[in-house]
């Protein structure tokens, strides 16, 4: 029987009603437990969450941020709706790491393409770059808003698993999520798989972050 630990980083004490409903509706393995993070900065919180999760010896670990609502396009309603089977779909992919899609605060999808190694740079992938790959599509690095990890992957990664890299002026060079998932890509020789049909709402300050054409490309791709 598959076991799962759900890790929820907590950077605020409030969540949206839609997020709470989505979490309640998620279909999860019977052997599932939850861990809620605490403290800052975020890279240390994620590191602590994984350490605690491993103590339960799970098969999988799921990161779900409190501003990410897992959805799928409903053709009858013509819009994105909460998708209860998102986690089970990702588990059934049997991949070391799987991410859903969501639109970032800084713009662009959460899945990234490697631009250069020295200096290390990434950019968000376009929809064409995602859908024109063999199945499953993959990325070099990605955000961790809705991310499934096979726990044994961590055995192959050096510690610390997470870091936050800035230059002298405080400009972010590498966020903790890209740092972590790039480690996975280098170790395995291929990046996280993309569950492209799971298109999450990213709710920031009560506003849903989505590109204007999201419905059009979801219809085309499905």
- Which residue(s) pair with 34 in the sheet? 6
pLDDT band at 170 (very low <50, low <70, confident <90, very high): low
* pLDDT at residue 86, rounded to an integer: 98
**Which domains does the chain show, CATH number per domain?**
3-221 (3.90.550.40)
Q: Which stretch, 39-43, 108-112, 130-134, has highest mean pLDDT?
A: 108-112
CA atoms of 181 and 159, how far apart (whole Å): 13
Asked whether residue 49 carries a pLDDT value surpassing 90, the answer given is yes
CA angle 86, 92, 97 (to 5 degrees): 80
Contact 181, 145 (CB under 8 A): no
* pLDDT at residue 28, rounded to an integer: 98
- A 10 A CB-CB count for 112 gives 23
DSSP one-letter string for 27-44: ---SEEEEEE--SSSHHH
Write out pLDDT tens, residues 129-152.
998 888 899 999 999 999 999 999
CA atoms of 39 and 195, how far apart (whole Å): 30
**What's the chain's average pLDDT?**
88
Write out pLDDT tens, residues 196-218.
999 999 876 555 556 555 544 44
């Amino acid at each position: 029987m598959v076991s799962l630990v759900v890790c929820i980083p907590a950077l605020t004490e409030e969540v949206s009603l839609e997020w709470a409903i989505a979490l309640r509706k998620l279909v999860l393995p019977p052997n599932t437990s939850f861990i809620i993070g605490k403290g800052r900065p975020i890279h240390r919180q994620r590191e602590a969450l994984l350490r605690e999760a491993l103590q339960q010896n799970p098969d999988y670990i799921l990161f779900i941020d409190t501003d990410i609502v897992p959805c799928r396009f409903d053709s009858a309603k013509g819009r994105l709706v909460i998708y209860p089977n998102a986690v089970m779909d990702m588990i059934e992919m049997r991949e070391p790491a799987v991410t859903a899609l969501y639109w970032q605060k800084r713009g662009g999808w959460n899945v990234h393409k490697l631009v250069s190694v020295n200096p290390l740079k990434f950019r968000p992938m376009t929809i064409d770059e995602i859908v024109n790959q063999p199945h499953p599509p993959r990325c070099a690095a990605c955000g961790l808003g809705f991310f499934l990890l096979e726990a044994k992957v961590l055995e192959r990664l050096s510690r610390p698993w997470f870091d936050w890299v800035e230059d002298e002026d405080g400009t972010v060079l590498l966020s903790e999520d890209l740092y972590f998932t790039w480690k996975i890509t280098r170790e395995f020789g291929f990046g996280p798989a993309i569950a492209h049909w799971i298109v999450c709402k990213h709710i920031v300050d009560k506003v849903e972050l989505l590109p204007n054409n999201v419905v059009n490309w979801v219809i085309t791709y499905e």
